[in-house]
Amino acid sequence: MFLRFFETLRKTGIPVTLREYLGFLEGMASGLVTYDIEGFYYLARTAMVKDERHLDRFDRAFSEAFKGLEAIPAEAVLEAIDLPTEWLKKLAEKTLSAEEKAHIEALGGFDKLMETLRQRLAEQKGRHQGGSKWIGTAGTSPFGAYGYNPEGVRIGQKESRHQRAVKVWDRRDFRNLDDTVELGTRNIKVALKRLRRWARTGAAEELDLAGTIRATAEHGYLDVKTRPERHNAVKVLLFLDVGGSMDPHIRVVEELFSAARAEFKHLEYYYFHNCLYEGVWRDNWRRWDQQTPTCEVLRTYGGDYKAIFVGDASMSPYEIAYPGGANEHWNAEAGQVWLTRAREHWPSNVWLNPLPERHWQYTQSVGMVRQIFEGRMFPLTLEGIGRAMKAMT
């Protein structure tokens, strides 16, 4: 019955497996949801989507697989009247106010509502426009579309207008999360999670359930075991290019910075301009009188840190290849020397570039930096961040 749905998910690009599909079918067979389209949606999404980036794809696949359920022909509605009245009553508890429920009861309850629908479907011979009785449009009848009735059954209408229908089959009001959508702090956090590594540190503070069960079984009495809590063990060093050609990318870099600070407990950051040289800084207002020597940064943070460089790598090739090539000061050593030192000291490293990847080939300096990083340059997109995090792990 749901094979087409499974095939649509695969066609949309969601990596759902046969095991996940069988788990979904098992949930349906066990009665987790019955005549509840919203519950069905969440069951299917929970069983078959394992990555938040695929939620919007799932919504589109869900809509495609079950489109048309809202615009049901009159004959099909007549056949569907056998659905349990308890189902509609449960829906009413979610969608109708106390006054509206009382009004329905005054008319004879849901049994009367469904009986009336059955009669009118049988009596009506064609399309009806306006009015308060027949199944049609632009009226106050409880059955039809583009009208108004507080306890209506919507038939043949694309979307809700008053949020009053008892049953709405295809309601999509879920947030888009896809690796092709515009970057945002929330989305970046999802991508950065791939880099996290957990370690148990400190005194034993939490219950080790598996260890307790094993020890109890071995000793024949309750033997409670504890273990240290898990903590985020990843250490990240963030180098951010600022000024000049990076000005158009301020917003997206700010979002990356905000997401990284929220995601990683051990995060250190420094600013640089165009290329890494002998000095970096934390405050752009004091970058001339409060610089930190790059050598000191190399001595302070060990090789277990993961170094992430963020910049468009767009500059004069001389700034990378020659001493004295920097455009704001005299650099005794070329930028490529410092970048190579940094990569050797922090072996887990990447360069994130806010420029579209298709434009990299037109800028010589981008190619030079990419060569220094041995191809470990990635676009500053959700897909690019995902690839970068995978490369660093």
pLDDT one-digit tens code per residue, 53-82: 788 788 888 888 887 655 555 455 445 555
Residue 146: both structure tokens together: 């583009």
pLDDT one-digit tens code per residue, 184-221: 556 666 666 766 665 556 666 778 888 889 989 998 88
Measured distance CA(91)–CA(236) in Å, rounded: 49
What is each CA distance from 155 to 87, 113, 172, 292, in whole angstroms? 18, 15, 17, 69
More confident residue, 4 or 128: 4
pLDDT one-digit tens code per residue, 103-119: 666 666 656 655 655 55
More confident residue, 127 or 368: 368
Q: For the residues 338-359, what does the mean pLDDT come to?
A: 95
Query: What is the predicted pLDDT for the residue at 169?
Result: 35
What is each CA distance from 363 to 243, 325, 360, 370, in whole angstroms? 18, 17, 6, 11
Is residue 141 within 8 Å of residue 133, measured between CB atoms?
yes
Query: What is the predicted pLDDT for the residue at 160?
Result: 44
Measured distance CA(67)–CA(159) in Å, rounded: 12
Query: What is the predicted pLDDT for the residue at 153?
Result: 46
pLDDT one-digit tens code per residue, 27-56: 888 888 876 777 888 899 889 988 777 887
pLDDT value at 336 more than 90: yes
What does residue 85 show for φ and ψ, rounded to 5 degrees? -65, -30
pLDDT value at 173 more than 60: no
pLDDT one-digit tens code per residue, 355-366: 999 999 999 999
Confidence of residue 393 (pLDDT cuts 50, 70, 90): confident
Confidence of residue 151 (pLDDT cuts 50, 70, 90): very low
Confidence of residue 271 (pLDDT cuts 50, 70, 90): very high
Question: Mean pLDDT across the chain, nearest whole number?
Answer: 76
Neighbours of 138 (CB within 10 A): 14
Neighbours of 21 (CB within 10 A): 20
Confidence of residue 87 (pLDDT cuts 50, 70, 90): low
Q: For the residues 236-249, what does the mean pLDDT come to?
A: 90
Query: What is the predicted pLDDT for the residue at 200?
Result: 56
pTM: 0.52
| Residue located via tokens 């869900």 | 62
